[in-house]
A and B are shown apart, each in its own frame.
Chain A
C-alpha cells in the first residue's frame, strides 16, 4: 500500500494545519542545530510564518466535506477549526512578545520556540481529538511542553519552583483524568471513540450507572485543571508569577482555549446521559471561579498575579456559554475566546514591555507611567478596560453576548453572578488605569522616575511594538466592527453537527432553553 492511498484512507488532509506546524518546528530545530545561536535572527519569523501558514490551511478546511480523519480519531469540524485557529493565533501573537524577553534573559530562543510550537501542536490536536487515547496523548503533549516552558528560565529559582509545582499538580490532575477516562472505557465495553462510548452506554440501559457519574467528575477535574476553574485553580497564581511572562500569556489564552475545546467535545459527545449532572458541576465551578477569581484579584499587588486571578474569573464567564448549551451559548464562548485572545495578549504584551524596561511588575510601580510612556499606557488601558467590559471595546460585546445567551436560556442566577462579579472586576482593572494616569509628578513611582528612554530600535523591540499595536487596534475595533467575528462564531456552531444534535437534544429534553434561534441568526 502506497502512502497516497494510506493518506486517503486515513483522510490525513484533516491534520494539514498541524502538519505545517510540525514542519515549522522541525525546520527551526534542525536549522538551529546547524546554524547555532545566530539562528535567533530568523527563527521567530519562521515560526510566525509557519503558524500563519497553519491558519491559512485551517481557513481552507472550513467547508471540508468529510471532517473525520484517522478512522474517527480526529475530527476537523467547524468548532475544532475555530479553536485550533485561536490556539495557533495565540501562539503567533505570543512569539513577537517573547523575542526580546528571551534575548534579555540570555537563553536560547530556538528551543523556546520549538517547545512553544509543540505546546501549540498539542493544543490543536486536543481541540480536534475525538478519541480517548488521542485526547490523552495530545493533552499530555500540551501539558508537558507547558511544564517545560514554565521552567524555561533555568537560572531563576521562581521559574523552577513554578515548573515543579505545575508538574506536580498537573500530574495529579492527569492521573485523575486518566482514571476517569479508563472508567469510561470500561463502562462502554471497551470503546475509545467518543461517539461509540456514548451509544454503547445508552444502549446498556436507561438509568446512567453510578460509575458514569464518577467518570464524569474525574474527567471534569482534568478539564478544570486546564482551564483553571476554581477549586482546581491553585497552581495558577504561583505558576503565572514564576513563569516567563510570554509563557503566561500563552497559557492564559492558548492552553485555556484547548481546555474549553476539550470540554465541549468530551462532555457533549460522551456524557449525554448525565448532561444535567455536568451542567450542575460546571455551574458550581463557574460561580466559584467568577466570585473567587474576581474577588481575590482585588487584593493582589503583583500585576501578573492579578492577571492570573482575572483569567480565572474570565474563565468563569466563558463557562456560562458552555453551561447553557444553546447555539448562542456556544457561539458566545467562541466569540469571547476570540476577543479575549487579543485583549489578554495585549495586556500581557504591555506587562512584558513594562517589566523589560523597569524590571518589576508591582502594580504600585505603574503610577505616573502616562507621563513617561503614553503608548504603553494607552495600550494597557485599552486592554484592561476591555477585560473589564467597558463599552465600546471588544470585551464589552463579548460579555454582553455571553450574558445575553445565558439570560435567553434562563440561566438568570449565573448571569446575575456574572454581572456582579464583572462590576467587581472593573474596580481592579480601573485601579491600574487610574494609577497610570495620575497627574502629579510626586506621585510617580521610583520605577517610573527612572524610566529609560523609549527606544524601539533595540533588537526584538520592533516585533513587540507591532504586536502591542495590533492587539490594541484589534481590541478597540473588534467591538465596533464585531460583525465578522460574530458571524464566524455563529457559523462555527451552526456548521458543527455535534453541537447541532446536542442543542436539539437539550431542547427536546425540556431543559430551561427558551432560545429563539431566529433571533440570533438575524
Chain B
C-alpha cells in the first residue's frame, strides 16, 4: 500500500532541482526581467520544497510504521566487472534526515521572502536555495559512497555560491573562497579514503564496506592500523564539512552570507552532513577503536574550542557560528563514543533550535538595520543592541526558547539530547564527560550573555560613541594602526572612503528604534519554536522512541530496559547545575552588572586574548599554509620562468626556424620535385636492401 511513495521518492531531490533549473535558465535568458515576477517564482519554489516536505513526512510515517528499508538502483557505469550503481535508498536514518532537511529548508525559504525582499538578487537567491536543497536531499538519499561524494561536492559548491552571494562585498568573496578551499582539503582526504576502502573491500555500499572491512581486519589479512588510517581519511571529509578542529576556520567567516543561509546551511543541514556521513558509514568506524577515539576527541576538543571562543564574540552571528561548531563537536563526540542514537538525536534537536536562533538573529539584524543602516559591522554587533525585547517581542521569546534549549534546561529539546550524549560519554571515558560537562556550562553562559545583551537592558543603538569605536575596531582589523600620531595620508583616504560607505549605508537607516520583523519572518520562528520545545520528548531516557527508531537495523539494541533513575538524576542534575551556574553568571555580569566582565578580562588578559583571537588559529594557518604556499609558489614561478619557459621558447624558436628553412625546399620546380622522388626511392631501396 505504501509502495507508490517509495517508487516516487526520487522526486524528493529532483523537484527542487527542477525548480532551480527552470528558474536558473529563466534568469540566464531574461536576466533582471524575472525580478518583476519574483513573488510567483519564490512561491513556486517554496511550493516545490513544500511538496518534498509532505513526501518526506509520508516516508517517515511509513518508516515509523515499520516499513522495510527501500532501495532502488540502476546501473550507471560499467567497465569490465566494475559496476557502479546509482539510485536512492530510504531507511530510518534517511527518513529522519529528510524530514529535518525539508522542514528547515521550507521554513527558511518562507522566511527568506521577508529577509531578502528588498535585495536585487532575490530570484537568484531563491534558485540557489532550491539548488542547495536538492543537493542536500540527494546526499541524504544516496545509497553508496560515490553518489554521496558527488552530492557532497554539490553541497559544497552551493555553499560557495550562497556564502559569496553578496560577492561585491570583499569579506563575502574572501569567505566563500575560504570555505571552499578548506572544504577541498577535507574532501581530498575523503576521496582518498573512499578509494582506499574501495581498493580494500571492492564495494561502495555502506553496509558491505563495513562488513568486509571487519572481516578483513579480523582475519588478519589487513592490519587494523591501515584500516583505521582509511577510516580517518574518510573522516577528514566530515571534519571539514562539519567544521571540526582543525578545519573549522571557514564556518565563522561563512557568516558573511545572508542570514537565512546561515540558518539553513551552516546550522541545520550542510554542517550536519558530516555527522550524517559518519553515522551512515558507522559500520566502518565501529570496529576500529583508534578511529573511534580520533572522532570522539576531535569532537570533544572542537566542542570546547568553539564554546571558549564564543564567550568573547560580539558579532551575534559569529557567536552563533562558534556555538554551532561547538554543538557539532558534541555530535561527533557522541558518535565517537559509539552513541549512534545520541549523536543523531542531537543533530535533529540542534537543527531545529539552531535554525531558529539563526533566523532570530536575522530578525534582529533586520530590525537593527532600520536604525544603523545596512552595515554588517554595526547591525550585527551586540554592543549596539540591548533592550530589543521591547521592540521585537516575538523574536525575543523564540530566541529565549532557543537559548534555553541549547543551554540544556529541561524540558527543552537540547536537554534530552545533550544529556544522552554526556551519559554515553561518561560510560566510555570520564575525561570526555568532563570536557562535555564544562562546555555545557560555558554554552549556557555565552548563550545567555548573547540573549541578555541583545534583548535585555537599555537600547544602545543610537550611541554614537560605540558606533565610532566599532568602526575603528573594524579598521584596525583591516590592518591599520589607528591612533593619534599614526595618521598618514593613506589612512585618511581610507577613512574617507569608509565614511562615504557609511554615509551610503546610512540611507538604509530610517528610524530611531528597531521594529519587529514582518509576519513572514516571525511565523517560521514560531513554528520552529514548537519542535525546539517538544521534539526532545521523543528521546527521553525513560521512553526512548528515537533511539529505538534510529538504531541500525539488524543490530542488538543496547540495553535500554534497565533505566536507572538515580543515574539519570545524577547526570542530568550535574549538567543542569552547571548550566544554571553559567546562566547566573551571565545574569550577574550583563543584567545586574555586579561583576564587571572587563575587569575579569583584564585579569586574565592572555586567556581573554586567546579567546578573542580565536586561539590564533587563523593567524597560524596564514603564516604556515598561506604564506608558505605563496613562498613556494614564488620559488616555483622563478624556476618556471628561467628553466621551463626557456626550454619551451627554445623549442618554439627551433621549430619556427626549421619551418622557415624547410619551406625553401618547395621551389615550385617540377623537375626538382621529380628528382627528390627518384632520390628518395633510391635511398629507401638501398637502405632497405642493406638492412
Interface residues of A (CB under 8 A from B): 164-165, 168-169, 172-173, 176, 210, 213-214, 216-218, 220-221, 225, 231-232, 234-235, 237-238, 277, 280-281, 284, 292, 295-300, 424, 427, 522
Interface string of B638-677 (1 = CB under 8 A from A): 0000000000000010011011101101101010111011
Question: Which of A165, A168, A299 makes the CB contact (< 8 A) with B660?
Answer: A299
Bound-state CA distance A286–B588 (Å) is 89
Within 8 A of A (CB), among B671-691: 672-674, 676-678, 680-681, 684-685, 688-689, 691
> Which chain B residue shows the least CB distance to A288?
B680
Q: Which of B115-158 contact A (CB under 8 A)?
A: none
B493 CB to nearest chain A CB (Å): 34
Closest-by-CB residue of B relative to A172 is B674
Give the distance in Å from the alpha carbon of A123 to the alpha carbon of B160 in the complex: 59
Kindly list the 8 A-B residue pairs having the minimum CB-CB distance in the complex, ordered from nearest: A299-B659, A234-B673, A298-B659, A217-B685, A231-B680, A295-B659, A168-B670, A221-B681
Closest CB in chain A relative to B647 CB, distance in Å: 13
Instruction: List chain A residues, Cβ under 8 A from B478.
Output: none
The CA of A234 and the CA of B79, in the complex, are separated in Å by 46
B5 CB, min distance to chain A CBs, angstroms: 37
- With contact pairs A280-B691, A296-B659, A297-B659 given, residues A176 and B685 touching in the complex (Cβ less than 8 Å): no
A176 touches B677 (CB 8 A): yes
Residues of chain A lying within 8 A (CB to CB) of residue B660 = 299
**Known contacts A213-B688, A231-B676, A522-B79: A299-B681 contact under CB 8 Å:** no
For A164, give its contact among B663, B666, B670 (CB under 8 Å): B670
Write out the residue numbers on chain A whose beta carbons fall within 8 Å of the beta carbon of B652: 427
B548 to chain A, nearest CB (A): 49
A169 touches B662 (CB 8 A): no
**Docked-complex contact A299 and B689, CB < 8 angstroms:** no
Find out whether the CB atom of A281 lies under 8 angstroms from the CB atom of B681. Answer: no
Residues of B within 8 A of A176 (CB): 677-678, 681
- Listed in ascending order, the chain B residues whose CB lies under 8 Å from chain A are 79-80, 652, 655-656, 658-660, 662-663, 665-666, 668, 670, 672-674, 676-678, 680-681, 684-685, 688-689, 691
Residue of A nearest to B656 (CB): A298
Considering the chains assembled together, what is the distance between the CA atoms of A297 and B689 in angstroms? 33
For residue A80, give the distance in angstroms from its CB to the closest CB of chain B.
27
Check if B673 sits within 8 Å of A218, measured CB to CB. no
Q: Is the CB of B681 within 8 A of A165?
A: no
Question: Contact at A169–B666, with CB atoms within 8 Å?
Answer: no
CB pair A296–B662 under 8 Å, yes or no, is yes
Q: Evaluate whether A218 and B681 lie within 8 angstroms (CB atoms) in the complex, with A169-B673, A277-B691, A280-B688 already known.
A: yes
Closest to A423 in B: B651
Are B688 and A216 in contact, with the CB atoms below 8 A? yes
Assess the B673–A165 pair: CB atoms within 8 A: yes
Which residues of A have CB within 8 Å of B665?
Answer: 234
**Extra 6 A-B pairs, beta carbons < 8 Å, given A277-B691, A298-B659:** A172-B677, A217-B684, A295-B655, A299-B656, A299-B662, A424-B655
Question: Given known contacts A169-B670, A231-B677, is B655 in contact with A217 (CB within 8 Å)?
Answer: no
CB contacts (< 8 Å) of A297 on chain B: these are 659
Report A-chain residues with C-beta under 8 Å of the C-beta of B672. Answer: 234
Residues of chain B contacted by A210 (CB below 8 angstroms): 689
Are B680 and A221 within 8 A (Cβ)?
Answer: yes
Q: Are A217 and B688 in contact (CB under 8 A)?
A: yes
With most chain A CB atoms within 10 A of its CB, the pick from B652, B665, B666, B691 is B666
- Distance from B82 Cβ to chain A, minimum over Cβ atoms (Å): 11
- If over half of B's interface residues share one DSSP class (helix, strand or loop), that class is named, otherwise mixed; here it is helix
- CB A280 to nearest CB in B, in angstroms, measures 7
Given known A-B contacts A168-B674, A169-B673, A221-B680, A234 and B666 have beta carbons under 8 A apart: yes
Residues of A within 8 A of B655 (CB): 295, 298, 424
Within the assembled complex, what's the spacing in Å between the Cα atoms of A522 and B82?
13
Q: Report how far A238 CA is from B669 CA in the complex, Å.
A: 10
Contacts of B670 in A (CB 8 A): 164-165, 168-169
Contacts of A217 in B (CB 8 A): 681, 684-685, 688
A sample of 28 inter-chain contacts (CB < 8 A) reads A169-B670, A169-B674, A169-B677, A176-B677, A213-B688, A213-B689, A214-B689, A217-B684, A217-B685, A218-B681, A218-B685, A220-B684, A221-B681, A221-B684, A232-B677, A232-B680, A234-B665, A234-B672, A237-B666, A238-B666, A238-B668, A277-B688, A284-B684, A292-B662, A295-B659, A296-B663, A298-B656, A522-B80
User: A224 — nearest CB in chain B belongs to which residue?
Assistant: B680
CB-based nearest B residue for A217: B685
Return the chain B residue nearest A235 by Cβ. B673
Q: Is the CB of B681 within 8 A of A234?
A: no
Which of A213, A214, A297, A522 is most buried by chain B, counting CB atoms within 10 A of its CB? A213
Residues of A within 8 A of B663 (CB): 296, 299-300
Provide the bound-state CA to CA distance between A522 and B80, in Å: 7
* Most chain A CB inside 10 Å of its own CB: which residue of B662, B668, B680, B691: B680
Give A218 to B658 CA distance when docked, in angstroms: 29
Q: Once the chains are docked, how many angstroms separate the CA of A299 from the CA of B660?
A: 6
Residues of chain B lying within 8 A (CB to CB) of residue A216? 688
**Can you name the residue of chain A whose Cβ is closest to the Cβ of B671?**
A168
- Cα distance A225–B674 when bound, in Å? 11
Instruction: Report the Cα distance A132→B662, complex, angstroms.
Output: 37
Residues on B with C-beta less than 8 A from A235 are 673
Q: Within the complex, which residue of A232, A284, A295, A427 is in contact with B662, where a contact is CB–CB below 8 Å?
A: A295
Residue of A with least CB distance to B666: A237
Shortest Cβ distance from A231 into B: residue: B680
* Bound Cα distance A280, B687 (Å): 10
Give complex CA distance A371, B672 in Å: 44
Asked if residues A295 and B689 are in contact (CB atoms below 8 Å), the reply is: no
Q: Across the interface, which residues of B come within 8 angstroms of A281, CB to CB?
A: 684, 688
Chain B nearest CB, measured from A248 CB (Å): 16
- The interface residues of chain B lying within 8 Å CB-to-CB of A213 are 685, 688-689
Known: A217-B688, A280-B688. A225 touches B662 (CB 8 A): no
**B668 nearest CB neighbor, chain A only:** A238
Closest to A420 in B: B651
What is the chain B residue whose CB lies nearest that of A169?
Answer: B673
> What chain B residues lie within 8 Å of A299 (beta carbons)?
656, 659-660, 662-663
How far, in angstroms, from A165 to B671 measured CA to CA in the complex?
9
Cα–Cα distance between A499 and B688 once the two chains are bound (Å): 24
Which residue of chain B is the closest to A291 with respect to CB atoms?
A: B658
Cβ contact within 8 Å between B691 and A234: no
Closest-by-CB residue of B relative to A210 is B689
Chain A nearest CB: distance from B661 CB in Å? 9
Q: Which residues of B contact A234 (CB under 8 A)?
A: 665-666, 672-673, 676-677
CB-based nearest B residue for A173: B677
Could you tell me the distance between the alpha carbons of A169 and B659 in the complex, rounded to whole angstroms? 24
For B673, list chain A residues within 8 Å (CB): 165, 169, 234-235
B339: shortest Cβ distance to chain A, in Å? 48
User: A168 vs B668: C-alpha distance in the bound complex, in angstroms?
Assistant: 13
A420 to B22, CA, bound (A): 45
- Across the interface, A295 reaches (CB within 8 A) one of B658, B677, B684, namely B658
CB distance from B13 to the nearest CB of A (A): 26
| Residue of A176, A216, A217 contacting most chain B CB atoms (<10 Å) | A217
Could you tell me if B677 and A225 are in contact, using CB atoms closer than 8 angstroms?
yes
Closest to B673 in A: A234
Chain A residues contacting B681 (CB-CB under 8 Å) are 176, 217-218, 221
Q: CA A250 – CA B4 in complex, angstroms? A: 60
